[in-house]
Amino acid sequence: MTHDAILNFNPTLNVSFLTKRCASLLAMVGETAFESQQLSTAGFAVLMHLQNKSPLTPSELRTLTGHDMGGLTRIVDALEQASLVNRERKLNNRRSVQITITSLGIQKAEQSLEVIVSLLNQVFEPFSKLEVETLVSLLQRLCARLQDYRSQNI
């Protein structure tokens, strides 16, 4: 099924443009909300993934967050400098690094989660519960499809 035609392509009606725009706007709104936390939205995302499962390798974090390795390195550097994460080398393979969340990182993630949940509740207030659930479901399907597509076309 074809969804976009070249001749009448409109970025305001295109899924990829709209999801990118929403992600950018959410990041901007999140950065403002996180100023009081002295944390970036990217740093928050890393902490949340590490709180869910720690340790993770940089490659695993890259896949989960969507950051390139250079960007992820800068994010982890800042988190490490703030004592929110640690880099640890595997004993059996000194070239392999694992990133773990610290107890301070867990506290920061929990504090920041309260901030972002409050913010998102305000942003999504005009939407019904069903609309938000539908949006989440569709975005999950889109992510899964994009991951499958990428795996098949690498």
pTM of the prediction? 0.79
State the total domains in the chain. 2
Tell me the H-state helices in 35-152. Answer: 41-52, 58-65, 69-81, 103-123, 129-152
What pLDDT is stored for residue 5 in this prediction? Answer: 67
Place of tokens 């301070």: 104
Domain extent at residue 114: 34-123
Q: Which residues are within 8 A (CB) of 80 and not within 5 positions of it... i.e. 6 or more apart?
A: 86, 87
Task: For residue 87, give the H/E element and its range.
Answer: strand 85-89
In a domain, 51, yes or no: yes
- State whether 108 and 59 are in the same domain: yes
Q: So what's the pLDDT on residue 15? A: 86
The gap from C-alpha 50 to its chain's centroid, in whole angstroms, comes to: 12
109 contacts 47 by C-beta, under 8 angstroms: yes
Asked if 56 and 50 count as a contact pair (C-beta separation under 8 A), the reply is yes
What is the CATH classification number for the domain harbouring 116?
Answer: 1.10.10.10
- Residue 113 inside a domain? The answer is yes
User: Is 74 contained in some domain?
Assistant: yes
Same domain? 89 vs 131: no
Same domain, 114 and 136: no
pLDDT of res. 11? 81
Residue 151 belongs to some domain of the structure: yes
Please classify residue 84 by burial: count the beta carbons closer than 10 Å to its beta carbon, then call 0-12 exposed, 13-18 middle and 19+ buried: buried
Task: Please check whether residues 81 and 146 belong to one and the same domain.
Answer: no
**Residue 99 lies inside a defined structural domain of this protein:** yes
Q: Are residues 137 and 81 in the same domain?
A: no
- For the chain, 154 residues long, give each residue's pLDDT as a single digit of tens: 677 667 677 888 888 899 999 999 998 998 888 888 788 889 999 999 999 998 999 999 998 998 899 999 999 999 999 999 999 887 776 678 899 999 999 999 999 999 999 999 999 999 999 999 999 999 999 999 998 998 898 7
Question: Do 105 and 63 reside in the same domain of the chain?
Answer: yes
- Kindly state whether residues 113 and 132 are assigned to the same domain: no
